[in-house]
Chains A and B, each alone.
Chain A
Protein backbone atom coordinates (compact mmCIF):
# COMPACT_ATOMS: atom_id res chain seq x y z
CA UNK A 1 0.00 0.00 0.00
CA UNK A 2 1.30 3.40 -0.83
CA UNK A 3 2.29 5.78 1.89
CA UNK A 4 -0.33 8.16 0.71
CA UNK A 5 -3.00 5.55 1.19
CA UNK A 6 -1.68 4.47 4.56
CA UNK A 7 -1.67 8.01 5.80
CA UNK A 8 -5.13 8.62 4.46
CA UNK A 9 -6.45 5.51 6.21
CA UNK A 10 -4.84 6.54 9.48
CA UNK A 11 -6.30 10.02 9.27
CA UNK A 12 -9.72 8.67 8.51
CA UNK A 13 -9.51 6.32 11.46
CA UNK A 14 -8.61 9.19 13.72
CA UNK A 15 -11.44 11.29 12.34
CA UNK A 16 -14.00 8.52 12.78
CA UNK A 17 -12.80 7.83 16.31
CA UNK A 18 -13.02 11.45 17.34
CA UNK A 19 -16.49 11.90 15.90
CA UNK A 20 -17.61 8.72 17.62
CA UNK A 21 -16.24 9.71 20.99
CA UNK A 22 -17.89 13.10 20.82
CA UNK A 23 -21.22 11.56 19.86
CA UNK A 24 -21.07 9.06 22.71
CA UNK A 25 -21.04 11.88 25.18
CA UNK A 26 -24.21 13.44 23.87
CA UNK A 27 -27.06 12.14 26.06
CA UNK A 28 -29.54 9.90 24.30
CA UNK A 29 -32.57 11.72 22.96
CA UNK A 30 -35.18 9.00 23.30
CA UNK A 31 -35.79 6.10 25.65
CA UNK A 32 -35.54 3.68 22.78
CA UNK A 33 -32.38 1.61 22.84
CA UNK A 34 -30.19 1.76 19.78
CA UNK A 35 -31.22 5.12 18.38
CA UNK A 36 -28.21 7.27 17.68
CA UNK A 37 -26.96 9.71 15.08
CA UNK A 38 -24.17 7.52 13.84
CA UNK A 39 -22.10 10.46 12.67
CA UNK A 40 -18.94 8.41 12.51
CA UNK A 41 -20.46 6.61 9.57
CA UNK A 42 -19.89 9.68 7.46
CA UNK A 43 -16.23 8.80 7.63
CA UNK A 44 -16.90 5.09 7.08
CA UNK A 45 -18.76 5.74 3.86
CA UNK A 46 -16.26 8.28 2.64
CA UNK A 47 -13.47 5.81 3.32
CA UNK A 48 -15.33 3.14 1.41
CA UNK A 49 -15.64 5.24 -1.70
CA UNK A 50 -12.23 6.80 -1.63
CA UNK A 51 -9.92 4.18 -0.18
CA UNK A 52 -11.82 1.03 -1.02
CA UNK A 53 -13.43 -1.73 0.99
CA UNK A 54 -10.35 -3.18 2.68
CA UNK A 55 -9.15 0.09 4.07
CA UNK A 56 -12.64 1.15 5.00
CA UNK A 57 -13.06 -2.10 6.90
CA UNK A 58 -9.88 -1.36 8.84
CA UNK A 59 -11.15 2.09 9.65
CA UNK A 60 -14.47 0.68 10.82
CA UNK A 61 -12.99 -2.05 12.96
CA UNK A 62 -10.42 0.24 14.50
CA UNK A 63 -13.10 2.76 15.30
CA UNK A 64 -15.35 0.18 16.91
CA UNK A 65 -12.64 -1.42 19.01
CA UNK A 66 -10.89 1.73 20.10
CA UNK A 67 -14.12 3.66 20.42
CA UNK A 68 -15.63 1.10 22.77
CA UNK A 69 -12.50 0.94 24.88
CA UNK A 70 -11.93 4.67 25.06
CA UNK A 71 -15.51 5.50 25.85
CA UNK A 72 -15.58 2.86 28.55
CA UNK A 73 -18.57 1.04 27.11
CA UNK A 74 -16.99 -2.27 26.25
CA UNK A 75 -20.33 -4.05 26.44
CA UNK A 76 -21.48 -1.95 23.53
CA UNK A 77 -18.78 -3.46 21.37
CA UNK A 78 -20.72 -6.62 20.64
CA UNK A 79 -23.72 -4.65 19.47
CA UNK A 80 -21.61 -2.26 17.41
CA UNK A 81 -19.77 -5.10 15.77
CA UNK A 82 -22.91 -7.02 14.87
CA UNK A 83 -24.59 -4.00 13.43
CA UNK A 84 -21.47 -2.53 11.91
CA UNK A 85 -20.25 -5.60 10.11
CA UNK A 86 -23.61 -6.65 8.75
CA UNK A 87 -24.16 -3.15 7.49
CA UNK A 88 -20.67 -2.78 6.08
CA UNK A 89 -20.70 -6.01 4.16
CA UNK A 90 -23.96 -5.10 2.50
CA UNK A 91 -22.83 -1.60 1.66
CA UNK A 92 -19.53 -2.79 0.26
CA UNK A 93 -21.40 -5.13 -2.03
CA UNK A 94 -23.91 -2.72 -3.41
CA UNK A 95 -21.84 0.39 -3.72
CA UNK A 96 -21.08 -0.32 -7.35
CA UNK A 97 -24.75 -0.27 -8.20
CA UNK A 98 -25.09 3.35 -7.39
CA UNK A 99 -23.68 6.58 -8.71
CA UNK A 100 -21.83 9.06 -6.60
CA UNK A 101 -24.94 11.17 -6.47
CA UNK A 102 -26.70 8.29 -4.81
CA UNK A 103 -24.32 7.75 -1.95
CA UNK A 104 -27.03 8.81 0.47
CA UNK A 105 -29.12 5.82 -0.63
CA UNK A 106 -26.27 3.49 0.20
CA UNK A 107 -25.97 5.14 3.59
CA UNK A 108 -29.66 4.68 4.35
CA UNK A 109 -29.48 1.02 3.43
CA UNK A 110 -26.44 0.76 5.66
CA UNK A 111 -28.18 2.41 8.57
CA UNK A 112 -31.20 0.14 8.29
CA UNK A 113 -29.10 -3.00 8.15
CA UNK A 114 -26.97 -1.76 11.01
CA UNK A 115 -29.99 -1.46 13.23
CA UNK A 116 -31.26 -4.85 12.16
CA UNK A 117 -27.91 -6.32 13.10
CA UNK A 118 -28.10 -4.68 16.50
CA UNK A 119 -31.57 -6.01 17.21
CA UNK A 120 -30.49 -9.51 16.26
CA UNK A 121 -27.60 -9.23 18.71
CA UNK A 122 -29.85 -7.84 21.43
CA UNK A 123 -32.41 -10.61 21.01
CA UNK A 124 -29.73 -13.26 21.22
CA UNK A 125 -27.95 -11.77 24.20
CA UNK A 126 -30.98 -10.94 26.31
CA UNK A 127 -32.82 -14.03 25.14
CA UNK A 128 -36.08 -12.14 24.78
CA UNK A 129 -37.53 -12.04 21.27
CA UNK A 130 -39.92 -9.33 22.44
CA UNK A 131 -37.24 -6.78 21.68
CA UNK A 132 -38.09 -7.06 17.98
CA UNK A 133 -41.01 -4.81 18.75
CA UNK A 134 -38.51 -2.01 18.39
CA UNK A 135 -37.58 -2.95 14.83
CA UNK A 136 -40.01 -0.62 13.03
CA UNK A 137 -38.91 2.34 15.11
CA UNK A 138 -35.29 1.57 14.48
CA UNK A 139 -35.88 1.30 10.76
CA UNK A 140 -37.44 4.73 10.77
CA UNK A 141 -34.50 6.06 12.72
CA UNK A 142 -32.16 4.36 10.27
CA UNK A 143 -33.80 5.99 7.29
CA UNK A 144 -33.61 9.44 8.80
CA UNK A 145 -30.12 9.34 10.28
CA UNK A 146 -28.85 7.37 7.29
CA UNK A 147 -30.08 10.01 4.92
CA UNK A 148 -28.49 12.73 6.98
CA UNK A 149 -25.07 11.15 7.33
CA UNK A 150 -25.29 9.87 3.76
CA UNK A 151 -25.82 13.31 2.37
CA UNK A 152 -22.91 14.60 4.38
CA UNK A 153 -20.69 11.81 3.09
CA UNK A 154 -21.95 12.36 -0.42
CA UNK A 155 -21.26 16.06 -0.42
CA UNK A 156 -17.83 15.44 1.05
CA UNK A 157 -16.97 12.88 -1.57
CA UNK A 158 -18.32 14.86 -4.50
CA UNK A 159 -16.56 18.04 -3.50
CA UNK A 160 -13.20 16.47 -2.82
CA UNK A 161 -13.23 14.61 -6.09
CA UNK A 162 -14.20 17.78 -7.89
CA UNK A 163 -11.38 19.61 -6.22
CA UNK A 164 -9.04 16.87 -7.30
CA UNK A 165 -7.99 16.13 -3.74
CA UNK A 166 -9.16 12.54 -3.85
CA UNK A 167 -9.94 9.89 -6.42
CA UNK A 168 -12.74 7.41 -6.44
CA UNK A 169 -11.43 4.01 -5.55
CA UNK A 170 -11.23 1.69 -8.48
CA UNK A 171 -10.35 -1.96 -8.18
CA UNK A 172 -7.31 -2.88 -10.20
CA UNK A 173 -7.69 -5.90 -12.37
CA UNK A 174 -5.24 -8.51 -11.12
Chain B
Protein backbone atom coordinates (compact mmCIF):
# COMPACT_ATOMS: atom_id res chain seq x y z
CA UNK B 1 0.00 0.00 0.00
CA UNK B 2 1.07 3.57 -0.39
CA UNK B 3 1.11 6.50 1.94
CA UNK B 4 -1.23 9.44 2.11
CA UNK B 5 -4.58 8.01 1.23
CA UNK B 6 -6.46 11.16 2.18
CA UNK B 7 -4.35 13.13 -0.19
CA UNK B 8 -5.15 10.70 -2.95
CA UNK B 9 -8.79 11.29 -2.35
CA UNK B 10 -8.17 15.00 -2.58
CA UNK B 11 -6.38 14.55 -5.85
CA UNK B 12 -9.17 12.37 -7.16
CA UNK B 13 -11.78 14.92 -6.26
CA UNK B 14 -9.88 17.77 -7.79
CA UNK B 15 -9.24 15.91 -10.98
CA UNK B 16 -12.80 14.78 -11.34
CA UNK B 17 -13.91 18.36 -10.89
CA UNK B 18 -11.55 19.51 -13.59
CA UNK B 19 -12.70 16.71 -15.88
CA UNK B 20 -16.18 18.07 -15.65
CA UNK B 21 -15.19 21.24 -17.46
CA UNK B 22 -14.34 19.87 -20.90
CA UNK B 23 -16.91 17.11 -20.75
CA UNK B 24 -19.47 19.60 -19.56
CA UNK B 25 -18.52 21.92 -22.37
CA UNK B 26 -18.97 19.09 -24.85
CA UNK B 27 -22.41 18.35 -23.51
CA UNK B 28 -23.52 21.97 -23.60
CA UNK B 29 -22.15 22.38 -27.08
CA UNK B 30 -24.02 19.35 -28.29
CA UNK B 31 -27.21 20.47 -26.67
CA UNK B 32 -27.27 23.83 -28.45
CA UNK B 33 -30.72 23.22 -29.76
CA UNK B 34 -33.68 25.59 -29.95
CA UNK B 35 -35.74 25.91 -26.81
CA UNK B 36 -38.09 23.07 -27.62
CA UNK B 37 -38.52 21.08 -30.77
CA UNK B 38 -42.13 20.20 -30.40
CA UNK B 39 -43.99 19.96 -33.65
CA UNK B 40 -47.31 21.74 -33.88
CA UNK B 41 -49.49 21.20 -36.87
CA UNK B 42 -52.93 22.37 -37.87
CA UNK B 43 -55.15 22.03 -40.91
CA UNK B 44 -57.76 24.36 -42.34
CA UNK B 45 -59.84 24.41 -45.45
CA UNK B 46 -59.46 27.64 -47.39
CA UNK B 47 -59.09 28.91 -50.95
CA UNK B 48 -60.79 25.80 -52.16
CA UNK B 49 -58.21 23.47 -50.73
CA UNK B 50 -56.74 21.89 -47.60
CA UNK B 51 -53.95 23.79 -45.97
CA UNK B 52 -51.50 22.37 -43.44
CA UNK B 53 -49.49 24.69 -41.21
CA UNK B 54 -46.58 23.21 -39.25
CA UNK B 55 -44.28 25.06 -36.87
CA UNK B 56 -41.80 24.00 -34.21
CA UNK B 57 -40.94 25.32 -30.80
CA UNK B 58 -42.79 26.92 -27.96
CA UNK B 59 -44.08 29.83 -30.05
CA UNK B 60 -45.64 27.54 -32.61
CA UNK B 61 -49.17 27.31 -31.30
CA UNK B 62 -49.67 31.03 -31.15
CA UNK B 63 -48.06 31.54 -34.52
CA UNK B 64 -50.32 28.97 -36.14
CA UNK B 65 -53.43 30.54 -34.64
CA UNK B 66 -52.47 33.95 -35.96
CA UNK B 67 -51.67 32.48 -39.33
CA UNK B 68 -55.01 30.74 -39.59
CA UNK B 69 -56.80 34.03 -38.92
CA UNK B 70 -54.85 35.68 -41.68
CA UNK B 71 -55.53 32.86 -44.12
CA UNK B 72 -59.26 33.10 -43.49
CA UNK B 73 -59.14 36.85 -43.97
CA UNK B 74 -57.26 36.59 -47.25
CA UNK B 75 -59.51 33.81 -48.46
CA UNK B 76 -62.59 35.99 -48.08
CA UNK B 77 -60.89 38.98 -49.59
CA UNK B 78 -59.25 37.47 -52.62
CA UNK B 79 -61.56 34.78 -53.88
CA UNK B 80 -63.44 35.57 -57.02
CA UNK B 81 -66.82 34.88 -55.56
CA UNK B 82 -68.44 35.53 -52.22
CA UNK B 83 -69.95 38.40 -50.31
CA UNK B 84 -66.79 39.81 -48.82
CA UNK B 85 -64.72 39.23 -51.86
CA UNK B 86 -62.97 42.34 -52.99
CA UNK B 87 -62.24 40.74 -56.30
CA UNK B 88 -65.86 39.92 -56.94
CA UNK B 89 -66.64 43.52 -56.19
CA UNK B 90 -64.04 44.74 -58.62
CA UNK B 91 -65.27 42.39 -61.28
CA UNK B 92 -68.85 43.52 -60.89
CA UNK B 93 -67.66 47.06 -61.24
CA UNK B 94 -66.74 46.50 -64.80
CA UNK B 95 -68.08 49.56 -66.46
CA UNK B 96 -65.04 50.54 -68.31
CA UNK B 97 -62.95 53.23 -66.75
CA UNK B 98 -64.79 53.19 -63.47
CA UNK B 99 -62.11 52.45 -60.97
CA UNK B 100 -62.32 50.34 -57.85
CA UNK B 101 -60.37 50.80 -54.70
CA UNK B 102 -57.94 48.17 -53.59
CA UNK B 103 -56.79 47.33 -50.13
CA UNK B 104 -53.11 46.87 -49.41
CA UNK B 105 -53.04 43.12 -50.08
CA UNK B 106 -54.84 43.30 -53.39
CA UNK B 107 -52.68 46.21 -54.52
CA UNK B 108 -49.49 44.30 -53.83
CA UNK B 109 -50.76 41.21 -55.59
CA UNK B 110 -52.05 42.99 -58.66
CA UNK B 111 -48.84 44.96 -58.95
CA UNK B 112 -46.84 41.74 -58.90
CA UNK B 113 -49.20 40.05 -61.33
CA UNK B 114 -48.79 42.86 -63.81
CA UNK B 115 -45.04 42.80 -63.40
CA UNK B 116 -44.90 39.07 -64.12
CA UNK B 117 -47.22 39.62 -67.08
CA UNK B 118 -44.67 42.03 -68.50
CA UNK B 119 -41.64 39.89 -67.76
CA UNK B 120 -43.18 36.74 -69.20
CA UNK B 121 -44.60 38.61 -72.16
CA UNK B 122 -48.13 37.70 -71.39
CA UNK B 123 -47.74 34.09 -70.28
CA UNK B 124 -49.18 35.00 -66.88
CA UNK B 125 -52.44 36.86 -67.07
CA UNK B 126 -55.03 37.41 -64.36
CA UNK B 127 -57.61 38.63 -66.83
CA UNK B 128 -58.38 35.15 -68.20
CA UNK B 129 -61.24 34.77 -65.76
CA UNK B 130 -64.01 35.14 -68.34
CA UNK B 131 -62.45 32.29 -70.30
CA UNK B 132 -62.10 30.16 -67.21
CA UNK B 133 -65.80 30.70 -66.59
CA UNK B 134 -66.65 29.84 -70.18
CA UNK B 135 -64.75 26.56 -70.09
CA UNK B 136 -66.52 25.68 -66.87
CA UNK B 137 -63.43 25.39 -64.75
CA UNK B 138 -65.03 27.49 -62.03
CA UNK B 139 -68.45 25.92 -61.91
CA UNK B 140 -67.16 22.46 -62.79
CA UNK B 141 -69.75 22.30 -65.54
CA UNK B 142 -67.18 21.69 -68.18
CA UNK B 143 -67.64 22.39 -71.82
CA UNK B 144 -65.48 23.11 -74.85
CA UNK B 145 -66.28 26.61 -76.12
CA UNK B 146 -66.53 27.25 -79.83
CA UNK B 147 -63.67 28.94 -81.58
CA UNK B 148 -65.80 31.99 -82.24
CA UNK B 149 -66.73 32.30 -78.62
CA UNK B 150 -63.11 32.01 -77.62
CA UNK B 151 -62.06 34.66 -80.09
CA UNK B 152 -64.78 36.93 -78.82
CA UNK B 153 -63.61 36.53 -75.24
CA UNK B 154 -59.97 36.98 -76.18
CA UNK B 155 -60.82 40.56 -77.05
CA UNK B 156 -61.38 41.42 -73.44
CA UNK B 157 -58.42 39.45 -72.17
CA UNK B 158 -54.99 40.89 -71.64
CA UNK B 159 -53.47 42.50 -68.56
CA UNK B 160 -52.45 45.43 -70.70
CA UNK B 161 -56.10 46.34 -70.57
CA UNK B 162 -55.91 46.92 -66.83
CA UNK B 163 -55.44 50.43 -65.57
CA UNK B 164 -53.61 50.16 -62.28
CA UNK B 165 -52.70 53.13 -60.15
CA UNK B 166 -50.19 52.14 -57.50
CA UNK B 167 -50.31 55.49 -55.72
CA UNK B 168 -54.05 55.71 -55.34
CA UNK B 169 -54.37 51.93 -55.13
CA UNK B 170 -57.12 51.70 -57.71
CA UNK B 171 -57.79 49.45 -60.62
CA UNK B 172 -60.00 49.88 -63.66
CA UNK B 173 -60.73 47.96 -66.82
CA UNK B 174 -60.48 49.33 -70.32
CA UNK B 175 -63.10 47.00 -71.76
CA UNK B 176 -66.47 46.09 -70.53
CA UNK B 177 -66.95 42.56 -69.35
CA UNK B 178 -63.38 42.17 -68.17
CA UNK B 179 -62.81 40.27 -64.97
CA UNK B 180 -59.80 39.20 -63.01
CA UNK B 181 -59.01 36.14 -60.92
CA UNK B 182 -56.06 35.99 -58.57
CA UNK B 183 -56.11 32.21 -58.26
CA UNK B 184 -52.71 31.82 -59.87
CA UNK B 185 -50.94 34.08 -57.40
CA UNK B 186 -53.07 34.52 -54.27
CA UNK B 187 -51.89 31.35 -52.56
CA UNK B 188 -48.30 32.46 -53.09
CA UNK B 189 -49.07 35.79 -51.44
CA UNK B 190 -50.80 33.93 -48.62
CA UNK B 191 -47.91 31.58 -48.01
CA UNK B 192 -45.57 34.58 -47.88
CA UNK B 193 -47.84 36.14 -45.26
CA UNK B 194 -48.01 33.01 -43.16
CA UNK B 195 -44.23 32.73 -43.10
CA UNK B 196 -43.98 36.39 -42.08
CA UNK B 197 -46.43 35.78 -39.27
CA UNK B 198 -44.41 32.78 -38.14
CA UNK B 199 -41.25 34.86 -38.12
CA UNK B 200 -42.79 37.73 -36.20
CA UNK B 201 -44.19 35.29 -33.64
CA UNK B 202 -40.69 34.00 -32.97
CA UNK B 203 -40.83 30.73 -34.85
CA UNK B 204 -37.57 29.72 -36.51
CA UNK B 205 -38.55 26.41 -38.04
CA UNK B 206 -41.73 25.74 -39.97
CA UNK B 207 -43.22 24.36 -43.16
CA UNK B 208 -46.62 24.99 -44.71
CA UNK B 209 -48.54 23.45 -47.54
CA UNK B 210 -51.39 25.43 -48.99
CA UNK B 211 -53.01 22.79 -51.12
CA UNK B 212 -49.68 21.75 -52.56
CA UNK B 213 -48.05 25.18 -52.49
CA UNK B 214 -45.21 24.58 -50.08
CA UNK B 215 -43.16 27.23 -48.31
CA UNK B 216 -40.53 26.75 -45.63
CA UNK B 217 -39.10 28.82 -42.81
CA UNK B 218 -35.57 28.13 -41.66
CA UNK B 219 -34.52 24.50 -41.56
CA UNK B 220 -35.78 21.47 -39.72
CA UNK B 221 -35.31 21.90 -35.97
CA UNK B 222 -32.18 19.74 -36.02
CA UNK B 223 -30.60 21.99 -38.59
CA UNK B 224 -30.99 19.72 -41.59
CA UNK B 225 -32.74 20.81 -44.77
CA UNK B 226 -36.44 20.29 -45.40
CA UNK B 227 -37.24 17.48 -47.77
CA UNK B 228 -40.08 18.34 -50.13
CA UNK B 229 -41.35 15.77 -52.57
CA UNK B 230 -42.56 16.71 -56.04
CA UNK B 231 -45.77 14.94 -56.87
CA UNK B 232 -45.53 12.58 -59.79
CA UNK B 233 -48.12 13.65 -62.38
CA UNK B 234 -48.27 10.11 -63.71
CA UNK B 235 -48.72 8.52 -60.29
CA UNK B 236 -50.35 10.85 -57.84
CA UNK B 237 -49.34 8.85 -54.80
CA UNK B 238 -45.70 8.83 -55.70
CA UNK B 239 -42.99 11.42 -55.87
CA UNK B 240 -40.77 11.88 -58.83
CA UNK B 241 -38.10 13.37 -56.66
CA UNK B 242 -37.25 15.25 -53.51
CA UNK B 243 -35.97 18.80 -53.22
CA UNK B 244 -33.86 19.58 -50.15
CA UNK B 245 -34.24 23.18 -49.18
CA UNK B 246 -34.50 25.90 -46.58
CA UNK B 247 -36.29 29.26 -46.63
CA UNK B 248 -37.88 28.68 -50.04
CA UNK B 249 -41.31 28.40 -51.57
CA UNK B 250 -41.94 25.41 -53.82
CA UNK B 251 -44.98 25.65 -56.05
CA UNK B 252 -46.13 23.35 -58.81
CA UNK B 253 -48.49 23.84 -61.70
CA UNK B 254 -49.66 21.03 -63.87
CA UNK B 255 -52.50 20.20 -66.18
CA UNK B 256 -53.14 17.07 -64.19
CA UNK B 257 -54.43 19.13 -61.28
CA UNK B 258 -57.72 20.01 -62.89
CA UNK B 259 -58.99 18.76 -66.23
CA UNK B 260 -61.87 17.16 -68.02
CA UNK B 261 -62.16 14.83 -70.94
CA UNK B 262 -64.50 15.17 -73.89
CA UNK B 263 -64.62 12.99 -76.95
CA UNK B 264 -61.34 11.45 -76.07
CA UNK B 265 -59.50 14.73 -75.70
CA UNK B 266 -58.19 15.99 -72.37
CA UNK B 267 -58.64 19.66 -71.58
CA UNK B 268 -56.86 21.06 -68.52
CA UNK B 269 -57.27 24.30 -66.62
CA UNK B 270 -54.04 26.13 -67.46
CA UNK B 271 -55.12 28.27 -70.39
CA UNK B 272 -52.76 30.04 -72.73
CA UNK B 273 -53.93 33.65 -72.46
CA UNK B 274 -53.16 34.29 -76.08
CA UNK B 275 -54.99 31.34 -77.60
CA UNK B 276 -57.67 30.73 -75.01
CA UNK B 277 -56.93 27.01 -75.18
CA UNK B 278 -55.27 24.80 -72.59
CA UNK B 279 -51.53 25.24 -72.91
CA UNK B 280 -49.98 22.39 -74.81
CA UNK B 281 -46.27 22.97 -74.99
CA UNK B 282 -45.00 19.56 -74.03
CA UNK B 283 -44.84 19.89 -70.26
CA UNK B 284 -47.03 18.16 -67.72
CA UNK B 285 -45.66 19.80 -64.60
CA UNK B 286 -43.58 22.80 -63.62
CA UNK B 287 -42.24 23.30 -60.10
CA UNK B 288 -40.69 26.63 -59.13
CA UNK B 289 -38.35 27.04 -56.16
CA UNK B 290 -37.94 30.67 -55.08
CA UNK B 291 -37.66 32.92 -52.05
CA UNK B 292 -40.88 34.72 -52.98
CA UNK B 293 -44.09 32.70 -52.82
CA UNK B 294 -45.92 35.06 -55.15
CA UNK B 295 -43.23 34.77 -57.79
CA UNK B 296 -43.14 30.99 -57.46
CA UNK B 297 -46.90 30.77 -57.83
CA UNK B 298 -47.11 33.05 -60.87
CA UNK B 299 -44.07 31.58 -62.60
CA UNK B 300 -45.24 28.00 -62.19
CA UNK B 301 -48.20 28.79 -64.42
CA UNK B 302 -46.18 31.01 -66.74
CA UNK B 303 -43.45 28.50 -67.47
CA UNK B 304 -46.03 25.78 -68.01
CA UNK B 305 -47.67 27.95 -70.66
CA UNK B 306 -44.32 28.86 -72.22
CA UNK B 307 -43.12 25.36 -72.81
CA UNK B 308 -39.64 23.96 -72.26
CA UNK B 309 -37.56 26.13 -74.54
CA UNK B 310 -39.03 29.49 -73.63
CA UNK B 311 -39.15 28.48 -69.96
CA UNK B 312 -35.45 27.63 -69.86
CA UNK B 313 -34.63 30.83 -71.72
CA UNK B 314 -36.59 32.79 -69.18
CA UNK B 315 -34.78 31.01 -66.37
CA UNK B 316 -31.39 31.77 -67.85
CA UNK B 317 -32.21 35.44 -67.67
CA UNK B 318 -33.57 35.24 -64.16
CA UNK B 319 -31.59 32.43 -62.60
CA UNK B 320 -30.82 34.39 -59.49
CA UNK B 321 -34.52 34.67 -58.68
CA UNK B 322 -35.67 31.09 -58.95
CA UNK B 323 -34.99 27.54 -60.01
CA UNK B 324 -37.29 25.03 -61.61
CA UNK B 325 -38.09 21.39 -62.17
CA UNK B 326 -39.83 20.72 -65.48
CA UNK B 327 -41.50 17.46 -66.39
CA UNK B 328 -42.14 16.68 -70.02
CA UNK B 329 -45.11 14.79 -71.41
CA UNK B 330 -43.03 11.63 -71.58
CA UNK B 331 -42.15 11.84 -67.91
CA UNK B 332 -38.56 12.95 -68.35
CA UNK B 333 -37.27 15.51 -65.87
CA UNK B 334 -35.21 18.67 -66.28
CA UNK B 335 -33.73 20.43 -63.28
CA UNK B 336 -32.18 23.90 -63.47
CA UNK B 337 -28.59 24.17 -62.31
CA UNK B 338 -29.30 25.84 -58.98
CA UNK B 339 -31.08 22.67 -57.80
CA UNK B 340 -28.47 20.30 -59.11
CA UNK B 341 -27.15 19.43 -55.67
CA UNK B 342 -30.52 19.62 -53.96
CA UNK B 343 -32.63 17.28 -56.05
CA UNK B 344 -32.78 13.58 -55.32
CA UNK B 345 -34.64 11.13 -57.48
CA UNK B 346 -34.82 7.49 -58.41
CA UNK B 347 -35.22 8.58 -62.02
CA UNK B 348 -32.57 10.05 -64.25
CA UNK B 349 -32.83 13.76 -64.83
CA UNK B 350 -31.19 16.37 -67.03
CA UNK B 351 -29.65 19.52 -65.68
CA UNK B 352 -30.06 22.82 -67.50
CA UNK B 353 -27.25 25.31 -67.15
CA UNK B 354 -27.06 28.99 -67.90
CA UNK B 355 -23.95 29.82 -69.85
CA UNK B 356 -22.64 32.56 -67.63
CA UNK B 357 -20.18 30.66 -65.53
CA UNK B 358 -20.71 27.02 -66.25
Contacts and interface: CB of A to CB of B under 8 A. Distances in A.
Contacts of A82: 22-23, 26
10 contacts: A53-B11, A54-B11, A78-B29, A81-B22, A82-B22, A82-B26, A86-B19, A92-B12, A93-B8, A121-B26
B18 A85 contact: yes
A89 B8 contact: no
What range describes how many residues of A lie at the interface? 20 to 34
A124 B3 contact: no
Given A82-B23, A125-B29, A125-B30, A171 B3 contact: yes
A110 B103 CA distance: 74
Interface of A: 53-54, 57, 78, 81-82, 85-86, 88-89, 92-93, 96-97, 120-121, 124-125, 127, 170-174
Contacts of A120: 23, 26
Interface residues of B, number: 20
Interface in B1-39: 1-4, 7-8, 11-12, 15-16, 18-19, 21-23, 25-27, 29-30
A85 B2 contact: no
B8 A85 contact: no
Nearest to B12: A93
Contacts, number: 58
Contacts of B18: 57, 85, 89
Nearest to A98: B2
Contact of A124 (B1, B4, B7, B30): B30
Nearest to B8: A93
> Which of B1, B8, B22, B30 gathers the greatest number of chain A CB atoms within 10 Å?
B22
A118 B334 CA distance: 46
B17 to A, nearest CB: 10
B15 A85 contact: yes
B4 A171 contact: yes
Interface in B227-244: none
A160 B59 CA distance: 67
A173 B15 contact: no
A36 to B, nearest CB: 18
B28 to A, nearest CB: 10
Contacts of A92: 11-12, 15
Contacts of B2: 96-97
A121 B25 CA distance: 10
Given A93-B11, A96-B2, A124 B26 contact: yes
Nearest to A64: B22
Nearest to A86: B19
B8 A57 contact: no
Contact of A96 (B8, B22, B25): B8
